[in-house]
Chain A
Amino acid sequence: MSATQLSPVDHTPSGKLLPAVEKLLRLRWQIWVNSFRHSKMLKKVLIILGLVTLLGVAVVMFWLSWLLLRFLRSPQPQEYLGIDPTPFIQTVPVLIFAGLFLGILIASFGVLLQALYLSGDMDFLLSSPVPIRAVFVTKLLQAVLPNFGLVVLFGLPVLFGLGAAGGYNLLYYPLVLVTMVAMTLAAAGLSALLVMLVVRVMPPRRAAEILGFFAATFGLICSQMGNIYNAFGRNADISQEQVSGSLSTLMRFNVPWMPLNWAGRGLIALGEGDWVTGSLLVMLNLGLSALIFGFALVTAERWYYSGWARMQVIARKKKPARAVRQVSAVEGKPVIWARLLPAPIWGIVWKDFLVLRRDLRVLSQLITPLIFGVIYSLMILRTGGEPPGGRGEAPVWFMNTFRSVLSYGSLSMALLVGWMLLSRLAGMGFSAEGKNYWMLKASPVRTTYLLTAKFMVAYFPSLLLGIIFLLGISLFQGFSPSGFLYNLLAVVVSLGGMTGILLGFGVAGANFNWEDPRRMNAGSLGCLGQIISMLYIPFAFAAFIGPLMLSSALNLPQGFAYLAGLVLGAVVSGVCAFLPLWLVRGKVARLDEA
């Protein structure tokens, strides 16, 4: 045989589920180990530290739960609070298991959509002689494990703490873990079925975009719940009545006929030695979980492959109705703009607006300033121009200055929302081009044109948003035409300066290597740009408002103060708008070169 001749190979694919799942999981593990091995030392240390911290958190949670539940089981709470906590304690496992099921069901949807339909290894796996069911199970486990890990980290110590505090028998502990695994698999199976259903009516990429948009908006609203509560004038302090009201609402959930509650109720019964009720409920729960998971597995065999195959067809489906609208939108571009601007600038501006509007993943990033803006505007309007009194220890001059600043709340809010939007539009204006940047780089577009186009794409939407907030708050606060005009000029000029800073840093830290726009960033230089532009806000504010406050303190003519403010603000903003771009102009030509 020649040195280059290949020897024949015998192969008999088994087609069995478990060995195939084991092989695919081993592959995942190998990939993880390899990436860990080849990562930098700092990252390795951080991963190990993270794991140790998580273990520590679990131990602390177990200890705290044990202490708290022991306290709740003692007579003291009833004596001091007048509440009998026993029914609530019995509701804790019910709530944890129900939360686990619903949490995994919802949280797994996006991860499963990504793992089942959008991961890069699907072509390879589906063309290999591996049972489709094995691919499905592996993807399911791979997607669900992180969520399951979180649930175990926070739920298991509480449930074990409950057992330890209540002196439950030993069978309780392993059964808690088994039930958790069973319910996780059932929830994930159900979530996977939902994913497969959605993919039958909509391309997975579009589904991921829509999901990303709603998840980001929902997450942002949740993170601001405290502020929303304040903005709508509710008192954030919680009374004893509210506590007992919330507890009774939670306890009302603990009804025996609801299958979600069988696991928690059964485990408590088993732990307390009620063998008949406990065994029945736990067995019912495990049986139902197995049934759901089994159904998902069988259905997946038919739906998964057909969904995958169908996905290729959906991707090529024609959309004539939408197309007509798109064409007219492009051809109907305002002639005056097209004539005023050089064609390359107009082309880039138009292209960027089309892309921003059509990619929901990008839109989810752009909605942030709107939500923050509405919440903080409501908070400003609620104060009625009066600063919070605090303990009354602040000096009078401080309170007066604070009051004057608040009277310009509309201006500061316009600058704040403008900054938030600019952080994305200007800070990542170049990074947003991603792997398509070659088109701009290979074309004969001047650096000044490119910078001008990116400046316009970032500046005008931010200016529009800023003006809307300025107008809205001014109307509510009491409209003065001269004051509004001055604030309007301040917004127009200040946002120009901010755009220059953010765009300059965006060029310096441009990163074109990303797949998902939500993972796009402008690197550490982009972060620095955000910090510097945030520091610029009070400077710009002071440049415009400082002379006005000074004139009223020193009784100088107000017209002079307005003029001084405008000149000072325009100089500060002008320097910030042009200097950063002038400094990075040479770098633009070399962007995206290794």
Chain B
Amino acid sequence: MPEPATLIETRNLVKKYGDKLAVNDVSFEVNGGEIFGFLGPNGAGKTTTIKVIVGLLQPTSGTVKVDGHDIQAQPLQAKAASGYVPDTPNLYAKLTGRELLRFVGDLYNVEREQVARRIDELLRILDLTAAGDDTIDSYSHGMQQKASLAAALMHDPKVLVLDEPTVGLDPKSARLIKDILRQMAERGSAVFLSTHILEIAERMCDRIGIINQGRLIAVGSMDELRGLDKTAEAGETSLEDIFLSLTGGVEVAEIAEILK
């Protein structure tokens, strides 16, 4: 069986906003067929890392490769390989869902003959067919989130990057998105997602990276992460325990216990 290709690769990635160090020397790889969860407390540098990967921000130093293409040296090839779902679905409010997808199809140079078929397929799978001809300003948050995912899937990307994809979604839609991500991974794509919902990360992700104060403090499968938590008993530690132990959030767990 051939080795899965590395589809996302960051090397010594650094991003500064003025004097503030948002991402500090982050290196990791995500292979094809893999769902990679990216966790971290608020303000840890998750969204900044994601924005650098998809080419929305230029790194201060270090390199990012998507499908083997350096995002700075070959931005068009790197972007063509990836699809991105942002945390806030800012979409063109005055376009209909169908028009938005057609526009995205044009941006990614999708074969004209395939565009209409692909739009129908995505709208049907994401349960947006009935709303496909309504302008996006009439969509609920969840529908906008699904439209954003449809836009990211329009060109069948090799790399899918999602920032908090399940926030604001009802259980049915959240499940639908999880199924789609799993299918993408099974077809050989790399899925990179950030989330605050540890249960999702624990159940869905093949590997997990934890970032804190801009530094990647742990990367590995659940078993590998359990090995990092020296206070835990073998085989019984949850991702929440590992996360809190690594990010110094044990006192937060105490508060949660009191409020239960």
Contacts and interface: CB of A to CB of B under 8 A. Distances in A.
A436 B91 contact: yes
B56 A5 contact: no
A351 B92 contact: yes
Contact of A438 (B75, B90, B133, B137): B90
A575 B128 CA distance: 48
Contact of A444 (B56, B80, B140, B255): B80
A15 B104 CA distance: 51
Given A343-B106, A441-B56, 6 more contacts: A323-B132, A323-B134, A331-B116, A344-B109, A436-B91, A442-B84
B95 A355 contact: yes
B136 to A, nearest CB: 10
Interface residues of B, number: 51
B94 interface: yes
B107 A443 contact: yes
A317 B138 contact: yes
A326 B133 contact: yes
Interface residues of A, number: 47
20 contacts: A4-B254, A4-B258, A6-B255, A205-B137, A330-B99, A331-B116, A343-B105, A343-B106, A347-B103, A348-B103, A348-B107, A440-B107, A443-B108, A444-B75, A444-B80, A444-B109, A445-B76, A446-B76, A592-B56, A594-B17
Q: What 10 A-B pairs have minimum CB-CB distances, sorted nearest first? A: A347-B106, A323-B133, A444-B80, A444-B79, A358-B94, A435-B90, A443-B107, A444-B76, A343-B106, A351-B103
Contacts of A435: 88, 90
A106 interface: no
Contacts of B133: 320, 323-324, 326-327
Contacts of B233: none
A439 B91 contact: yes
- With a 10 A CB-CB cut-off, give which of A344, A355, A439, A443 has the most chain B CB atoms: A443
Nearest to A335: B112
Interface in A322-356: 323-324, 326-327, 330-331, 338, 342-344, 346-348, 350-351, 354-355
A2 interface: yes
B55 interface: yes
A438 B134 contact: no
Contact of B140 (A316, A331, A438): A316
Interface in A229-288: none
Interface in B28-57: 54-57
A5 B90 contact: no
Contacts of B54: 442
A438 B54 CA distance: 10
A438 B56 contact: yes
B84 to A, nearest CB: 5
A358 B99 CA distance: 13
A315 interface: yes
Interface string B207-221: 000000000000000
